[in-house]
Every structure is written in C-alpha cells, then in structure tokens.
Structure 1
C-alpha cells in the first residue's frame, strides 16, 4: 500500500512524530530560478490545502529568503497544526559592500553574507535569528547544517567539528531539555559525512540529501546501518537527487545540484525503461523507494509552484506493483539488499 499524508513516524527516541511526507522549502530561496512572491505563496497554500503539515527550511536557502517566505505563510496558520524544522550552523550578516555582493549559488535570494559557526554561541545565535526571520517563536527541531569537508577549508572544517563537539551540542541539548525544541539532527550530503561526521555525536535524526536515492544506495551498509543501530531516524531531503528523478533524463537535468553527468543520465534512462514496462512514474518510484527503508521517517521533496505540490502528492500515493522493484533489482539498477515497498529484499 502506498504511504498516506496522514501517516506519522517517530523521530529517534523522542516524543516527536513527523508526517512521512513534508515540504522542503529550498526552492523558495531561488536556487535555479527566481520565484515570484505570489507564486511562492500559492505554492505554500497549495501544500497546506492538500494536507501537508511538515515544513523544512534553512538560513542558507536564499540567504534567509526561504525562511522569510515560509514563516510569512505559516505564521497565519494555527501553530498546533504544523511541524517546522530549520537549520543551525550559519548566521547571516550584512555584506561589507551590498552593491557588489555575489549571492551565488542562488539565482535570487537576499543580500546577506554567511558566517559558519558551530559553537555554543553560534548555534544559539543561528536559532534566534531563524525565529526572527520566520516570525514564529517555536521550532520543533533543529538541524546542524553542512558540517562537511566540501563546504570548508580543511583547517576550518576541523575547527568547526571541534566547536560542535566542545560546545555546540551543549546548546542543542539545553534547548531540547528546556522543551524549546523536541529533537535535533544533522544534515548531510555525502555517505562519508553520514558515516564519519554525523556519528561523532548523538543525534535524534539525520537529514540525508544525496546518499540514499533511487540512483544511489552507497550509504546502505554503513551510514544507514549506523543510524538503525543508534536509533537515529532519517529524513530524506533530496528524494529526486536534486532534480533528475522528477524531470527525467534529458538536456540540462540536475543531479547533486549540478548538471547531471553522462553516467547518471544513462542510469536514469535505464530506470525509465523499467518504469515504462510497468506503467510507473519515475517520481513515484523515487519517493516511495526511500520511504521503504526502516530508518527513514519522512521525505521532504521541494516545490516552486502549486502544480509541483500536486504532482508530488500524486507520486506518493501512486500504486506500484511489486514486480517493478523486482525488475529493478534483477537489472542491477538498485542494490539487491535495498528495502522496497513490496517488503522483499
């Protein structure tokens, strides 16, 4: 049976239960294209009207724009009817020269410079700034964001890790103990980060972007197994691998937040052929595949227009025959040990 919007799963050993399907607000920060204010609001309204009640954002998304837009919508809704997560580890400040400031990689976004800080003070300041941008005084869970080698020079990366272990975690533990947040986790983009960085501290959940998708199960035997062993839940943040698993193969498709390489394009074409044989939509396969893993509590695909919300929900609820998953495994297009919605490995 396909998942339902009303289904909820517990996060770690906390009292927080998240809907299995949420809304990832990164696209409202204007990564690939500008998003009109009216379209941003219409997209969020469409998600709300459809019954989505879990929303995720971050200071990094549009350098504050995503939080402003999401909070501007959610603050008009009853607070006890939705769940909200955002991220810490970055604070924002006015650039020295606003007129010449480069907002990249965001096509749009806001004119604020990012400062990485994973210390006690940095976590607390990031949390307080986020609430002000959101105009909401309660956040359900916080995510340590982008503490990975790819985002920092080697010396800075090591220093940030030390800051988190020495004092940053204390901030999160205090907020959780006081009831200000219900849980905390770490966002990761690589299998290495999931296995080596996230495991250095005790977490309620890991927000995993790229290492577990229909195209990549590299974290299956190490990172995800560690999550199960540590009773750390997983939220899948990029079920469409940043684009290609919803757009399909073709020119200008995105994978890993960049243009999709030829090998990925070919693998997607091979999966599309199996989809065609079984009359299964590629986005439906992508969403339902990740939710079948026992560590996964929720999936949060993004959307930048109302019709994308509608399409995502339809993909979540589509019926997929067991033979489809068996065929993908037979053709070595997914790992033979990867859990699938049919329940067979």
Structure 2
C-alpha cells in the first residue's frame, strides 16, 4: 500500500489507516480474539498506520492494539494516540461506560487536561498501555471547549517533545474544520485529523482548512469517511455522525449511491476514495470491528472509479462546485 510523508515530519503513513476505536468496544463488545484478528487483517492488506486514544474504552483500545502489534517489528508500523483526557481510576466500579459510547466497565473517569503536565502524564500512560517505548504521532484530542489551554500549554509541550525526538509528529484531531484551521495557521503542526467534515456528504473543510493545510505543508488525515454509517449503507434509520440520519441526508446518500452504482462503483469505494482528490489529504482513517470490514475497506480503496463519475457528481450538484476530484481510471 502506498505511503505518504506526514507533513514534513519524516513519518510515513499508509493511504489507509486503521482506526482502533472499535477495539475499545465502541457501542458494543468486541472479543479479544476478534480484536486481534482485525489488526491481523489490517496488517495483511498492507495497513501500517494505526490510530488509537485513551478515550477509546478507557484504555482498552490502546492495550489491545499494543498486544496485537507486539510481535511485529517496531520500525514497520506507525502508531498515533491522543492527549487531552487523563484516565483516573475509580475507587469502586460504577456501572458501564456506555454513556460515553463504550461497552466497558466504568473503572476510570476521564479528566480533561490540556496542561503541559497533563500531556506528559497522558503520553506516559499511553506508552505503558501500548507496550511501546515511543509513539510516532500525538494528536490533541477534541480540544473544542479547551482551545486556549490547548494552544498555549498542550501544543508547546508537544512541540518540545517533537524537538527532543520523543515523538515524530504532532497535531490535533477534531470533528470540526474551523478550529483545526486555526491550528494549521497559528502553529507548526505536522498534521490534523479531521472526522466527518470532508466526505461525499459534507465538504465543510473545503473553503478554509484544506487550502491552508496545502499552503503550509500540513497533512490532513481524514476520519469518518462514511459519516458513521450513512455512506456505507444508506437507508432510513442509518446513522450519521453517531445519531439517526435526517431524512434529507438519507435521500442525498441514496442519490449518491444510485449515481455510483450506475457506473459500476459501490458507494463505499467512492466515499473512501473521494478525500484523496485534495492534495492536502495524506491518509484516510477507517474504523473496523471485524476482519471482514477492514478487508472490504482495502478492496474499496483499490476499486476502479472512473473520472466520469466524479464529473457527474459535480455536474448534478451532489458535490460542492470546485471540489477537487480524484484522478480515477
């Protein structure tokens, strides 16, 4: 699988990246064997970039990912994790963590912390859970409501760790384009991770974030290419951004599906390949809870998509005017 340098960091990431939230039992339990199998499948299709976070299953995702990668040569893969939420052990079990989206026992509570000390403590704990001596990429995780502290305290701490060679690349990960544009313009991040805002259904990142990233040599890692399900299987009742999709978006997704299939293209393939039309995009992050899902994602990335389809989507107004399109075949 093709690899691209993340910004100017020297860190190489594969076009397709594995998002490990499901390893933390996102929404529903995943067994230990199944978790290991999905990482094995990701490896077998050529994925070498794996993304996780303490938030995912109160550390379960990091532990499972570390265990699954332990038998691989350390120089052959890239791992990113995140800072901003410290995990504090609870004195007694308090039910489950489903209110936060994870089917795990509530053994810890999350504490928002974008201080310099919080960054160091978070990375130290992540390395222990991952079983690694170093982490390749660190993102500030969802600093939406803590932007001032993230910029004034957490970011300089990450910049110092990068200068010291403790981490290879630094950035921020969010579900919105506006604040990430600020990181791109006002800091020296290598990459930003944008979830759900540059997809076939939402090109919010197109006017500002992506041009700014391209101008400054910052890579954009795209998450949520399927908008949490609607673009994988458009139908009434499908999810969009982790909630029930509005009827008008379901209708638009069905129009996209019909257009793609008229060219012999599964909508999943078009959705996954779409972000790569923009030169700032370095990788697409796909979550999977089974080996079959990650193998399908790899197949969709390689599926032929004609330039005619992309042009038709532009002509019919299903993509924002001026949206750059992949080269196609």
Query: Which residue of 230, 239, 254 maps to 2:216?
Result: 230
- TM-score if structure 1 supplies the norm length? 0.90
Note if 1:114 corresponds to 2:110: yes
Query: Which residue of 285, 292, 295 maps to 1:307?
Result: 292
Query: Which residue of 27, 40, 45 maps to 1:45?
Result: 40
Which of the two has greater strand per residue?
Answer: 2
Contact 2:96/2:104, CA 8 A, preserved across alignment: no
Equivalence for 1:147 = 143
Contact 2:56/2:102, CA 8 A, preserved across alignment: no
Note if 1:128 corresponds to 2:124: yes
What pairs up with 1:211-226 in 2 under 5 angstroms?
211-226=197-212
Contact 1:95/1:101, CA 8 A, preserved across alignment: no
SS in 2 for 1:35: coil
| CA deviation map 1:25-62 (0-9, x unaligned) | 11212222211111111111111122211111111111
Contact 2:304/2:328, CA 8 A, preserved across alignment: no
Question: Are the structure 2 counterparts of residues 320 and 61 from structure 1 closer, same or farther at C-alpha, using a change threshold of 3 Å?
Answer: same
Aligned residues: 328
Equivalence for 1:21 = 16
Contact 1:65/1:110, CA 8 A, preserved across alignment: no
Query: Which residue of 244, 258, 266 maps to 1:281?
Result: 266
Equivalence for 2:89 = 94
Contact 1:87/1:143, CA 8 A, preserved across alignment: yes
What pairs up with 1:1-16 in 2 under 5 angstroms?
5=1, 7-16=2-11
| CA deviation map 1:282-327 (0-9, x unaligned) | 1100111111210001111111001001100100000011111111
Find the aligned partners of 2:317 and 2:180 in 1 and give their Cα distance.
24
Find the aligned partners of 1:89 and 1:300 in 2 and give their Cα distance.
20
Q: Which runs of 5+ in 2 are unaligned?
A: none
| CA deviation map 1:108-127 (0-9, x unaligned) | 13422101111100111111
Equivalence for 1:256 = 241
Contact 1:64/1:109, CA 8 A, preserved across alignment: no
Contact 2:80/2:136, CA 8 A, preserved across alignment: yes
Contact 1:271/1:333, CA 8 A, preserved across alignment: yes
RMSD: 1.7
Note if 1:243 corresponds to 2:229: yes
Equivalence for 2:154 = 168
Note if 1:189 corresponds to 2:175: yes
What is the Cα deviation at residue 12 of structure 1?
1.5
